[in-house]
Amino acid sequence: MGVAYGMHVHADATALIADPEIDIVANFTPIPVHHEISCAALEAGKHVYSEKPLTATLAEARGLRLSAAPSNALSPSVQTLWSLVEAGAVGDVRLVYAKFDDNPVYLLGPETWRSATGAPWPHLHEYEMGCTWEHAGYHLSWMCALFGPVRSLTAFSK
């Protein structure tokens, strides 16, 4: 089974999607092209695992559901929490509060960060997308894994 991953250049993504040896596409392209690349891969009959967010707008989502990164439900901290919830150690859970504090990333010099392949970290896309849209999936993914579908959500960012 061939896997295409680490696609950062649109032309490379198109060539990989067309390759009959590739069965799975891991979409780590910049946010503005997530939807386009994932749709092209799906239409070409490829399995897709996408970096979050899947789309830049709700209209692109078309009311459909699709699984994507982040997959942090298997992290040691979430697994510990999960075992405590299942064991009844925390009682009957009626409300979950989650806070994501990533510090002021812009002060950490993200414009200098590079992946193992030398690709720059897409810090401008993160800023343009906004913290809530870009990072809410981290908490929502493990909450849904532990407790099922979200019934109500309130989010704030500044």
Tens digit of each residue's pLDDT (9 = 90 or more) over 124-146: 877 787 777 777 778 888 888 88
Joined together, the tokens standing for residue 62 give 């078309």
**Residues 6 or more apart from 30 whose CB is under 8 A from it?**
8, 122, 125
Residues 6 or more apart in contact with residue 114 via CB below 8 angstroms: 120, 121
**Residue ranges of E strands in the chain:** 2-4, 22-27, 47-50
For residues 108 and 119, give the distance between their C-alpha atoms in angstroms, rounded to a whole number.
Answer: 18
pTM over 0.75: no
What's the token pair of residue 9?
């250049």
Taking the C-alpha atoms of residue 140 and residue 132, their distance in angstroms, rounded to an integer, is: 11
CA 57 to CA 40: how far, in whole Å?
17
Confidence band for 8, pLDDT divided at 50, 70 and 90: very low
Sorted by where each starts, the structural domains of the chain and their CATH numbers stand as 1-57 (3.40.50.720), 70-158 (no CATH)
What's the whole-number mean pLDDT along residues 42-56? 86
The per-residue pLDDT of the chain, averaged, comes to: 80
